[in-house]
Structures are given as C-alpha cells and as structure tokens.
Structure 1
Amino acid sequence: MQRVTNCILEDKEKGQVLMLKKPRRGWYVAPGGKMESGEYVKQSASREFFEETGLTVNNPELRGVFTFVMKEGKDVVQEWMMFTFYADQYSGDLLEESPEGELEWVPFHEVLKKPMAEGDRKYFEHILKSDDQVYGTFMYTTDFQLIDVVLDPASPS
C-alpha cells in the first residue's frame, strides 16, 4: 500500500492558504507526495512540502489520516494511505516554479471553491475549521468520481 503525506499551510496574518494546482486535471491540492523507505510521516510531510514549495513548515501537526480506495466496478484496483498535516508557521522563500505544478496563495474564503477532488474538499473543510484530528476513507472510481466517504468525526458545519 502506497503511503503519502501532505501539509495544509495557512498564513493567518494574510488570511491565505498555500495550494498547488496540479497540471493533469487543474485540481488544487495541499503540497505533498510519496513517503520514502524508512521515513516517518512528519519527516516525509516536511521534506515533500519543502521540495514542492521551497518553504519549511514549522511545527506541522498531524490533523488527518485517510485511506483512499480506487474501484473499478466491485474490484479494488488501487489503495493508499495519506497523512495530512497542518501548519500556520513557516520560513523560507516560495519557489517561483514548483516541479509539481503552480503554487498559489489562495484567500481562506476561496479555498473550498477551487477545483479539487471532492474528497479533498471534505478534508480541507474539516481541517480548516477544526483543530480536531479527522480519520476517514474515500472511495473513488478510477476516473476520480467520489463513490463514498466516511469521516470520523464528521465534517464540522
């Protein structure tokens, strides 16, 4: 099972969240990527965030652990786990060009309006509105249509 990490960085002073627009679908994500062998999750999240943004996140906190299941009919064709961190402090200079897509500081109130996978929208909503950790499973078709989602606790309203 593949393991990935990412980190949602919020600049509270400016009221913005750093997002990465991926070129394949034009969807916005939190910067992150695959864990390397022997790496622990916080180390991976910090490394991946730095590689994709040029910024060092200070004191990232684990806020979500998710299982993603891709199904073709009734068959599971892919499954991975994602560990999502949150930070509101950082240092460094933002890359002018990320190797993974376009970096953009998005106003806080616009984050959930950006094009993204529907499951991502659900965990972004929870993490940006609550300090509580969230756990969940997202089931998708192979063309990223959300089939089902279970979050514990459910997203705050």
Structure 2
Amino acid sequence: MQRITNCIVIKDDHILLLQKPSRGWYAIPGGKMEQGETIQESVVREYWEETALTLANPRLAGVFTFSIFQHDELENEWMMFTFISDTYHGQLTEHCDEGELEWVPISRIHSLPMAEGDHKIFEHILHSESTVFGTFSYTNEMELIEYRMN
C-alpha cells in the first residue's frame, strides 16, 4: 500500500493548490513517503519539493484510505495523511514539475475541478478542529463509488 502525505496551507483565506495537467484537477501539494520517514518528515519534504516552502508545525488533520476498482476487482490502494498549516518559510517557486501552483480563495474550493472525495475532505478539514478519518472507493476512471468519514 502506497503512503501519501500532503498539506493544506492557508494564508489570508486562500489555500495553495496544485492544478495537475493530466485531468486539470486541483490537488493538495504533497506526494509519496520514502522508506524510513515519519509522516511529518515526509509532508515537510514533499511540500518543499513541490512548492519551495518549508512547513512549520503542520498538524495532522486527516487520515484516509483510497481503493480503486475495475469491475469490482481491487486495482490499487493507498493511504493518505493530510496535514494543515498556516505557517511556513521561504518563497513560492515559480515552476513546479507536477503542475501549476495557485493560491485559491477558500470560498472557491467547492467549485474547483477535483476528485469528488477531495471536496468532501475539504468540507471536513476546513470546518473542524478534530482529526478526520475516512475511506473512499473509486472506479479506475476516478468516479466515486462510496465513502465513509468520521
């Protein structure tokens, strides 16, 4: 099972998001954990690699599992650890190999193109102080089949 870390960084009622070129969907900057890293080490490294910003004291906000199915058969599975932070150091890079970085007003998050489950994750994380846990099932075309969050 692949492990992913990412971080929702909030500044002046905006969130830094990455628009990926493959689908044009927006995503939270982050990526794959490396062997031997803690999840906090991973999120700081991954966030810096994509944005050139160094996170300061990111707080774990959600833990999620994702299952991708093709005709009822499990095709892929991963776990994502989502952090939140309003403190960072450095200056945003002008170029990211993964896509276009953009500061998006929080009020626009619900209308952006992204995976349906990501909208649900934002709804919980942006309106709660407690860590949220969830599981999402998708088709291999990234259509949400079902989800649970608590």
Q: Same fold by TM (over 0.5)?
A: yes
CA distance in 1, matches of 2:129, 2:87: 15
* Alignment of 1:132 onto 2:130: yes
In the TM superposition, residue 104 of structure 1 has moved relative to its aligned partner by: 0.2
Identical positions, percent: 53
Question: Over aligned residues, Cα RMSD in angstroms?
Answer: 0.7
Shift of 1:125: 1.3
SS in 2 for 1:10: strand
Tell me by how many angstroms 1:118 deviates.
0.2
Mapping of 1:135-146 within 5 angstroms?
135-146=133-144
- Match of 1:125, SS state, is helix
Q: SS where residue 68 of structure 1 aligns?
A: strand
Distance 2:106 2:55 in 1: 18
Distance 1:35 1:112 in 2: 28
Whether 2:25 is the aligned partner of 1:64: answer: no
The count of corresponding residues between Structure 1 and Structure 2 is 150
Q: Which of 77, 80, 94 matches 2:78?
A: 80
Post-superposition offset of 1:57: 1.2
- 1:41 corresponds in structure 2 to 39
2:6 is aligned to 6
Structure 2: which 5+ runs fail to align?
A: none
Matched, 1:97 2:95: yes
Q: Give a deviation string over 1:17-68, Cα, whole Å, max 9, x none.
A: 1000001000001100000011110110110000000111111000100000
**1 CA distance for matches of 2:126 and 2:15?**
9
CA distance in 1, matches of 2:71, 2:39: 32
Q: Give distance in 2, aligned partners of 1:52 and 1:143.
A: 25
Which consecutive segments of 4 or more residues in structure 1 shift more than 3 A? none
